Chains A and B, each alone.
Chain A
Amino acid sequence: MSSVIDGSTITASNLSQRFKRADGQLVNALASVSFTIPEGQFVCLVGPSGCGKSTLLQIMSGLLAATDGTLEVGNKRVTQPAPQRGVVFQKDSVFPWLRVVDNVEYGLKCAGLAKAKRREIAEHYLERVGLSQVGRAWPRELSGGMLKRVAIATVFANGANVLMLDEPFGALDYVTRRQLQEVLLTLWGEATDSGRRRTVIFVTHDVDEALLLADRILVLRGGRLVDDLPVSAPRPRTTDSLLRADLVQAKHTLLNHLGLERSHA
């Protein structure tokens, strides 16, 4: 793991987030979280409900300003959202008032690309996620899994080199989830035009999903970073990969952190 800070290294220093609840009480959503994520790494953020993982993602994407601490991407402070940091939200964020292909094109339209070029890129990524047949459909005609594909196609089409996904597959059934994980991994595996891999930050509460996807798992609990696990199983990972001894050990560690197991030898 390189420690050189290059174009897309993400550095978080002492990030804290406090907010006031409706009854006036101050809540610490995040407390002094620090980490460094080198370019091209697939990182999963894992933790129980309410541990602050979504808040952390919001800060990293620039949608929320941390009350304390700094976040830098490639040595530049992050204070605003930008197309380089694409986000796939937990809720269905695809615009209901645009057809699927117009949705995928949207970021490119904001960037001022010509219509023909936009359309070409959008249709390319729609095909990569398996939705080339429904480009003209309205979002309300699509299932939840397909809407997530649209969102994934959109952030890839928009040329993001850091991808942040906030429990994107949580509301889907098991089969669809596995399919979409595969879609994501395949797209991530391909290098961008500049020959480098994209960085992925993937928030989940599903331990198996994290072990299947990640190079590295950051564990949050009560707003604090409590563990940083490398996952070095070779790719491509299959269902059987989960049976490897090192992954089983990692799983026990994670379940321990989540409070589902006591300390295990």
Chain B
Amino acid sequence: MIRGTASDVTRVGNPKSFPRLRALSAARWRRFDPLALLGVVVMVAAWHIASRFVAGSVLPSPFNVAKRIVADFWLARELAYYGLGNTGLFGSLVFTGVNVLVAVFAGSLIGIAIGLLAARSKWLGPLVQPVMMTVGTVPTLVVAPFFLIWFGVGRGSSILLVLMYSAVILYVFAQRAADNLDPVFEDYARTLGASPRRVIRDVLIPGTVPQILGGIRIALAGAWGIEAIVELLGAQQGIGKIVSVLAQSIDIEGIFAALIVLGIAAVAFDVLTATVIRRLAPWSPAAIRHKE
């Protein structure tokens, strides 16, 4: 925090020496905690030790799983055996990943638009709010069997389901963000000559971006699981399909391999989203309405 001390500014336009801006990036070094890396090592070690005491068919060792990931990466023999084409962990991951990203993106746009509009509009808000809240109480998985019957077992059902899930989450986040945005910013902008359209563009959107991005991160995290379970319920492709097939032959090692690959993808996108949030919104908590 920069503070101009009493002795620094004695006259208008004649400041004495000014304390230098502390580089924001200086904080970045504090984030690489060596103990955290040690934690990962400890976890893998614990896993390895545990796998020694239990049969390999129940808890495979980390090395075996790693080998399996490499082996199955481009071509998973099990799937070919079951006549499902030449694909491996990577190809299935791409299928699953594309579904998730497209659905979350589309659903977020819808949710954000409705949420912001509902918060701003006098009549739309009370109309949309109960609808969204009702839809929100329905556990997403309840809708899954219906979608599978109506839209078949292809990409359509899973994308639609994740889309619905994301839209509800982003609606809540966008609406809450717009509601919590301190009205002083809009008043200030208007006294500076901003038109209503400018107010939406220059105040409402930047002011709600941090919370909205947080909502996208949360929606993305849950989306992987929903996509996975829809695939488990009867898709023909995707990581879920691989797990489902391997489960039939009680191939725990293979399941571990598939789940870890999925997990790494989920974590990677989560970290990516978090980085985007940090870059795009360096002002984050400051826009929240001041407490009375």
* A residues at B contact (CB < 8 Å): 61-63, 80-83, 85-87, 89, 91-98, 106-107, 110-111, 127-130, 132-134, 136-143, 145-146, 154-155, 158, 175-176, 179, 182-183, 186-187
Contact = CB atoms under 8 A, between A and B. Distances in A.
A27 to B, nearest CB: 17
Contacts of B286: 96, 139-140
A130 B12 contact: yes
Contacts of A81: 187, 190-191
Nearest to A173: B6
Contacts of A139: 283, 286
B191 A143 contact: no
A209 to B, nearest CB: 18
B73 to A, nearest CB: 43
Given A87-B191, A140-B286, 15 more contacts: A81-B190, A86-B191, A89-B184, A91-B182, A95-B203, A96-B286, A97-B281, A106-B192, A110-B193, A130-B4, A134-B21, A136-B21, A146-B4, A158-B193, A179-B6
Interface of B: 1-4, 6, 9, 11-15, 18, 21-22, 182, 184-185, 187-195, 198, 202-203, 206-207, 209, 281-283, 286-287, 290
A63 B195 contact: no
Contact of B198 (A87, A92, A96, A110): A110
B13 A127 contact: yes
Contacts of A62: 191
15 contacts: A61-B191, A83-B192, A86-B191, A89-B184, A91-B182, A94-B188, A107-B193, A110-B198, A130-B9, A130-B12, A137-B21, A141-B2, A143-B1, A146-B2, A158-B192
B245 to A, nearest CB: 49
A261 to B, nearest CB: 30
A100 to B, nearest CB: 11
Interface-central residue, A61, A128, A179, by most chain B CB under 10 Å: A179
A145 B9 CA distance: 12
B14 A97 contact: no
Given A96-B287, A106-B189, A130-B9, A142 B184 contact: no
Given A127-B13, A137-B21, A186-B12, A110 B192 contact: yes
Given A97-B283, A97-B287, A110-B198, A89 B12 contact: no
Nearest to B283: A96
Given A89-B187, A96-B287, A145 B12 contact: no
A96 B286 CA distance: 6
Contacts of B198: 110
B187 A87 contact: yes
Given A87-B188, A130-B13, A97 B193 contact: no
Contacts of A129: 12-13
A139 B185 CA distance: 13
Ranked 6 nearest A-B pairs via Cβ: A107-B192, A83-B193, A96-B286, A93-B188, A97-B206, A96-B283
B199 to A, nearest CB: 10
Interface-central residue, A86, A111, A140, by most chain B CB under 10 Å: A140
Contacts of A134: 2, 18, 21
B27 to A, nearest CB: 12
Contacts of B282: 138
Nearest to A82: B193
A140 B24 CA distance: 11
A137 B287 contact: no
B2 to A, nearest CB: 6
